[in-house]
Chains A and B, each alone.
Chain A
């Protein structure tokens, strides 16, 4: 068990290291002056020269890379020329907004996707079931940023029900969280539907009926218990996607999270902040994947760590 944990942890660290490397390569190897990239277009010649020296751009690439790794490990991404002050601190400042948004989106996904999937399973082959299938198929392909804009058009501009942008109120969460949740809602519903149907066909369901249990108990206790395990583990994956997708959706709703900060930084060539943001998102993404694996073992009594 310890062995597995260590191996899985080492794997995650390696992935993170890979992510840092890729970001480094993108920012340093692409054509252009990294000093100019880092300092932005407003920098003077003297600033640029100083920055080049500071970055050690004359040094071999490998040396620069090792030095950069050291900086990242110490969470030193440099200063933001746009915001002034530490880039990492600026990102951390925006973290709560993104977490709140992703959390609410997860709530929407569960609260709507799970019942929808169960409903589709209980009405297999009927109109509702096929509707869920189509919804799941199309939901994932939809350009979410456009759907968000259309929701603003309908619920804010036309019906005047919900605020279109973050105004500090809790209802301002509804539209962005729902937009974020939409592609995964149908996906989760289909997962729940397929899982439920699979479980309904298993022998233990027949046993439960042979025991004279009511259909309600057979379904709510025996079947759902087994459907739930894969769902709980997949929630971590969905949360990871939310944090990634939030990059675009936050921009649509002017939501003050990491995502919009990252886009603003890239648009303004403030790469210290952009790098800090993207690495933090990668940490979340990798960490959630790790969590999903561990949860899987914790939840399913059949899987013991010895069998891995």
Chain B
């Protein structure tokens, strides 16, 4: 069902000075498919996506690995070449649409800018296209509202504007960083519906979320990140049905919107580790109910399990087995 890989990230490492925020993450986004990245804040999921966009903060640097889009290595592009891909091929929307929009420019201007600066459209033509784009994402009275400022819209409408802006030039990949976290439940559903429409039209997405319900409704495959590493990956159906990593298991238990409630597993105790002082061995072991001596000394690699999924746990099979018995 896939037409091949659109985006491939391999062994990506990002550092803030001496701090390794992302430590060897690999992921693949197939054309027209959606990948979810799940994890607590500070797990490196946003940094990974900013690295793909080439928008890392000034203090952060890619120190290893590769990123290719349709076979083109993004890390080898000149800054200006990468810039030209943004908007055209890659686009991104953010958690808080109010702060992500420029407060002193009208929303119409901010959308029209894509056509004017990137496509050389005339002011009038660009404005017209902007109004069309706003209408397409379901903003009523788009022509009149184009002259309003971001603060004059509701949260949901602002996120629609962000989406209209991001998709203006019909990019192939949209990265959505917690697109619904700041919105209330009914508005969340509307935004997800809008994104699903675009998926059906062939848009590939990376959706970053800590909300497993959102992930279940939008993504085909999922990567779970912990302390800058991928600890589990697979299809959403498989991973949700039977997690193969204790951390994923804990996330499921903690999530009110996960599909099934599981007995016998408590939400995860403790806090995410300090990036400057990671535990030895498996970074998750101080919080892990399955932890043994081996976890303290030996870092588990992300290894393939049957059916193409992967887990970075020494005792993945045990976790799978436990899950089946507990969930029965």
Interface residues of A (CB under 8 A from B): 202-204, 206-214, 217, 221-222, 225-226, 229, 300-302
- In whole angstroms, how far apart are the Cα atoms of A222 and B104 in the complex? 8
Q: Which residue of A is nearest B152, CB measured?
A: A301
B32 at the interface (CB under 8 A from A): no
Tell which of A207, A229, A301 touches B100, judged by Cβ atoms closer than 8 Å: A207
- Give 1 or 0 for each of B145-184: 1 = CB within 8 Å of chain A CB: 0000101000000000010011000000000000000000
> Within residues 46 to 92 of chain B, which ones have a CB less than 8 A from any CB in chain A?
53, 55, 80, 83-88, 91-92
Q: B86 and A211: CB pair below 8 A?
A: yes
Residues of chain B with a CB closer than 8 A to A213's CB: 83, 113, 117-118
22 A-B pairs within 8 Å (CB atoms) are namely A203-B94, A203-B99, A203-B100, A204-B103, A206-B100, A207-B100, A209-B55, A210-B53, A210-B87, A210-B91, A211-B91, A211-B114, A212-B83, A212-B86, A212-B88, A213-B117, A214-B83, A221-B113, A222-B105, A225-B102, A302-B103, A302-B104
Knowing A210-B92, A301-B149, A301-B151 are in contact, say whether A204-B83 is a contact too (CB < 8 A). Answer: no
Q: Which residues of B contact A212 (CB under 8 A)?
A: 83-88, 118
B85's nearest neighbour on chain A, judged by CB, is: A212
Does chain A have a CB within 8 A of B132?
Answer: no
Q: Are B104 and A207 in contact (CB under 8 A)?
A: no
Give the tally of cross-chain contacts (CB within 8 A).
74
Give complex CA distance A211, B84 in Å.
9
A239 to B325, CA, bound (A): 78
Q: Does B249 contact A (CB under 8 A)?
A: no
**For the complex, what is the distance from the CA of A213 to the CA of B87, rounded to whole Å?**
9
In angstroms, Cα B85 to Cα A209, docked, is 11
- Nearest residue in B to A206 (C-beta to C-beta)? B55
| B165 partner, pick from A202, A206, A211, A221, beta carbons under 8 A | A211
Q: How far is the CA of A301 from the CA of B105 in the complex (A)?
A: 9
| Neighbouring A residues of B21 by C-beta, 8 Å | none
**B96 on the interface (CB 8 Å rule)?**
yes
Most interface-central of B83, B104, B118, B162 (chain A CB within 10 A) = B104
> How far, in Å, is B167 (CB) from chain A's closest CB?
11
Distance between A98 CB and nearest chain B CB, rounded to angstroms? 34
The answer to whether B87 touches A211, judged by C-beta atoms less than 8 angstroms apart, is yes
> From residue A229, how far is it (CB to closest CB) to chain B in Å?
7
Q: Does B101 contact A (CB under 8 A)?
A: yes
* B113 / chain A contacts, CB cutoff of 8 Å: 211, 213, 217, 221
1/0 per position for B128-153, CB-CB distance to A under 8 A? 00000000000000000000010100
Nearest-CB residue, chain B, relative to A225: B104
What CA separation (Å) do A229 and B166 show in the bound complex?
A: 27
Shortest Cβ gap from B298 to chain A (Å): 39
List, in ascending order, chain A residues with CB within 8 A of B162's CB: 207
A207, A229, A301 — most chain B CB neighbours (10 Å)? A207
Q: Which residues of B contact A206 (CB under 8 A)?
A: 55, 94, 100
Q: Is the Cβ of A210 less than 8 Å from the Cβ of B104?
A: no
- Contact check, A207 vs B101: say whether CB atoms are below 8 A apart: yes
List chain A residues, Cβ under 8 A from B149: 301-302
Q: Which of A208, A211, A301 has the most CB of B within 10 A?
A: A211
Q: Which of B53, B84, B104, B117 contacts A217 (CB 8 A)?
A: B117
Q: Which residue of A lies closest to B162 (CB)?
A: A207
Report the bound CA distance from A225 to B100 in whole Å: 15
How far is B294's CA from A178's CA once the two chains are assembled, in angstroms? 74
Assess the B105–A302 pair: CB atoms within 8 A: no
Decide yes or no: A210 and B86 within 8 Å by CB, A217-B117, A301-B151, A302-B149 being known contacts.
yes
Residues of B within 8 A of A204 (CB): 99-103
Closest-by-CB residue of A relative to B103 is A302
Docked Cα-Cα span, A300 to B150, in Å, equals: 12
- Chain B residues contacting A202 (CB-CB under 8 Å) are 99
- Given the interface pairs A210-B87, A212-B83, A229-B104, the reply to whether A302 lies near B99 with Cβ below 8 Å is no
- What separation, in Å, do the CA atoms of A115 and B55 have in the docked complex? 27
CA distance A233 to B301 in the complex (A): 59
Closest 7 CB pairs of A and B: A212-B87, A212-B86, A203-B99, A301-B149, A204-B102, A210-B92, A207-B100
Known: A210-B86, A210-B166, A301-B103. 19 other contacts (CB 8 A): A204-B99, A204-B103, A206-B55, A206-B100, A209-B86, A210-B55, A210-B87, A210-B91, A211-B87, A211-B114, A212-B87, A212-B88, A213-B83, A213-B117, A213-B118, A217-B113, A301-B151, A302-B104, A302-B149
Residue of A whose beta carbon sits closest to that of B82: A212
- CA separation between A229 and B53, bound complex, in Å? 31
Smallest Cβ-Cβ distance to A211: which chain B residue: B87
Please, which residues of chain A bring their CB within 8 A of the CB of B105?
A: 221-222, 225
Cα distance A211–B93 when bound, in Å? 10
Shortest Cβ gap from A131 to chain B (Å): 22
A207's nearest neighbour on chain B, judged by CB, is B100
A203 and B96 contacting across the interface, CB-CB below 8 Å = yes
Output the nearest chain A residue to B109 by Cβ-Cβ distance.
A221
Tell me the complex Cα distance, A257–B202, Å. Answer: 72
> When A207-B100, A210-B92 are in contact, do A302 and B53 touch as well, CB less than 8 Å?
no
